[in-house]
């Protein structure tokens, strides 16, 4: 049976975190994705086949 397990980490600044991980030669599953207007997400492989989701919640934007 194939199963994928995710663990998510909430970040204040996903771009800063990705830059720091990139300096350590981290592998990214794919580029940063935008989920609706709620989150920016990126995935990195973790131990034992776990995918680690890096998530930055986007703030609500108000009209001027």
The residue whose two tokens read 């009209």 is 63
With a CB cutoff of 8 Å and minimum separation 6, the contacts of 39 are: 55, 56, 57, 58
Residue 37 falls inside a structural domain:
yes
What is the residue-averaged pLDDT of the chain?
A: 86
pLDDT reported for residue 24: 92
60 or 21, greater pLDDT: 21
Contact indicator for 26, 46 with CB cutoff of 8 Å: no
Give burial (CB, 10 Å; 0-12/13-18/19+) of 22.
Answer: exposed
Residue 34 falls inside a structural domain:
yes
From the CA atom positions of the chain, what is the Rg in Å? Answer: 13
pTM: 0.76
Residue 62 has pLDDT above 50, yes or no: no
Residue 42 has pLDDT above 90, yes or no: yes
pLDDT reported for residue 60: 56
Domain of 27?
17-57
Residue 62 falls inside a structural domain:
no
- Number of independent structural domains in the chain: 1
Residue 61 has pLDDT above 60, yes or no: no
Which residue pairs, CB below 8 angstroms and at least 24 apart, start in 19-24? none
């Amino acid at each position: 049976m194939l199963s994928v397990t995710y663990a998510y980490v909430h970040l204040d600044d996903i771009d800063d975190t990705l830059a720091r991980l990139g300096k350590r030669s981290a592998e990214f599953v794919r580029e940063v994705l935008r989920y609706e207007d709620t989150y920016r997400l990126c995935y990195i492989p973790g131990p034992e086949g776990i995918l680690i989701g890096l998530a930055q919640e986007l703030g609500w934007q108000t009209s001027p």
